[in-house]
Structure 1
Amino acid sequence: MQTVLLTGFEPFDNDLVNPSWEAARQLDGVQLGEGARIVAHCLPCAFATAGEHLRRLISELNPAMVIATGLAPGRSEMSIERVAININDARIPDNLGQQPIDTPVVAGGPAAYFSTLPIKAMVKALRDAGVAAAVSQTAGTFVCNQVFYLLQHRLVEAGVRSGFIHVPSAPPADQPPLVEALRLAVSTAWLTETDVRETGGQVS
């Protein structure tokens, strides 16, 4: 049985829950077609420990795919991230009180990494199911981006597809619940070999 590692984050910035983990944890053990299942884990929202936690999970689980998720306050749609950048620039302190400003995620690392997930196919599947979704060109510069960058940095030569999804605080009432939307996004990523080609660019 192959493993698809799905991560969410613990609450941060005085919130009591983090929707990324609340959705991910409900998918723990869910089967994706034949021969694969989701294994969900929660990451700390801390620059000093999130990356090491992720490294241990990858080493222990040897996943066939990794999808990290996080909360994007202020966004109203599922954001399938395209690119992680090599910079930490925290607007607020993390859960350990650290607030790195203009520091590299990996000293001497590439400026950026792209997702290796079929990001446009994922967006199309979500939209077809009535979920507001879009390709996002920025994962920010907080712990979410750090985890996304470290994930791609670690797996760049491993042949393991991986990427990041930002979830909204709460989907509109007329849309499927967040856990259903996340299940569809993960399932599409797992089952899609070749991404679709359709416009997804933004003017600004």
Structure 2
Amino acid sequence: MDTKKTVIVTGFQPFGEHKVNASWSAVQELEKLGLGEDINLLVKEIPVEYKAVSKLLPSLWKQYQPELVVHVGVSGMATSVTLEQCGHNYGYTRLDNCHFCPNSQCCINEGPDCIMSVIDMDSVCEKVNSSSQGVAFSVSKDAGRYLCDYTYYTSLYLGNRRCAFVHVPPLGKRHSAEDLGRALQAVVLEMLQSMEDQMDQDQDHCQDEH
């Protein structure tokens, strides 16, 4: 019986000015590095299409029952690797690669306005910034109301908040794909540790109450 935890990390296909999407390049580098022998790492490239995201994400969560899903996207404005704390349900008016956007302009009908990740991104950011990765990390609470935010919110909703989103800068702006792959490895491992620590705290609290 396989007792390894499964972690899914996704990047996006090219869109707009991003003829090579740095998110997928970084995820491919992460795949080469892996997350250690105790983790089954699965990587997926996601189309920049609302309908494709809405169809793909439920199947990923159901089929693989992952411990954690980390979505990675590119931001032309980013100068650091940015950890997104939350996803938003409303405000999707930008057309995707198929020139489509949802009529409802939202991810999940009647879902909450905002969903926070179970992971404390400020804590994760502080730890990876102090670990000499050679890459700067920051935290954001606005993933941009496009496919990144749409994907993040949908996955947070489906996965009971066991999800994270990371924005990376375009390739060559400051870092290579290899740099970003190493940064992703560090941050995903720290996220997993954060989740484990939280579980331990919850168990201790439960025992204290009994």
TM-score, normalized by length of structure 2?
Answer: 0.81
Counterpart among 71, 88, 94 of residue 74 in structure 2:
71
- Give the drift of 1:15: 2.7
The equivalent residue for 1:140 is: 144
Deviations 1:83-111 (A, max 9, x none): 111114234x2111114577121111111
- Give the drift of 1:35: 2.0
CA contact (8 A) 2:107 2:154 kept: yes
The equivalent residue for 2:105 is: 103
Count residues with an aligned counterpart.
191
Quote the Cα distance in structure 1 between the aligned partners of 2:31 and 2:54. 21
Letter paired with 2:193: L
- Give the drift of 1:71: 0.8
The equivalent residue for 1:84 is: 87
SS state at 2:50 partner = coil
Quote the Cα distance in structure 2 between the aligned partners of 1:29 and 1:154. 28
Of residues 97-106 and 76-85 in structure 1, the stretch that sits farther from structure 2 once superposed is 97-106
Letter paired with 2:25: E
Quote the Cα distance in structure 1 between the aligned partners of 2:54 and 2:33. 25
The equivalent residue for 1:62 is: 65
- Give the drift of 1:125: 3.0
Counterpart among 180, 183, 188 of residue 181 in structure 1:
183
- Give the drift of 1:145: 0.6
CA contact (8 A) 2:61 2:158 kept: no
Letter paired with 2:117: S
CA contact (8 A) 1:113 1:149 kept: yes
Quote the Cα distance in structure 2 between the aligned partners of 1:65 and 1:173. 26
Counterpart among 153, 175, 183 of residue 149 in structure 1:
153
Of residues 28-37 and 102-111 in structure 1, the stretch that sits farther from structure 2 once superposed is 28-37
Alpha-carbon spacing, 1:188–1:169, altered in 2? closer, same or farther (3 Å): same
Alpha-carbon spacing, 1:101–1:77, altered in 2? closer, same or farther (3 Å): farther
The equivalent residue for 1:190 is: 192
Quote the Cα distance in structure 1 between the aligned partners of 2:127 and 2:53. 30
CA contact (8 A) 1:30 1:38 kept: no
- Give the drift of 1:20: 0.7
TM-score, normalized by length of structure 1?
Answer: 0.84
- Give the drift of 1:131: 1.9
Quote the Cα distance in structure 1 between the aligned partners of 2:41 and 2:193. 13
- Give the drift of 1:27: 2.2
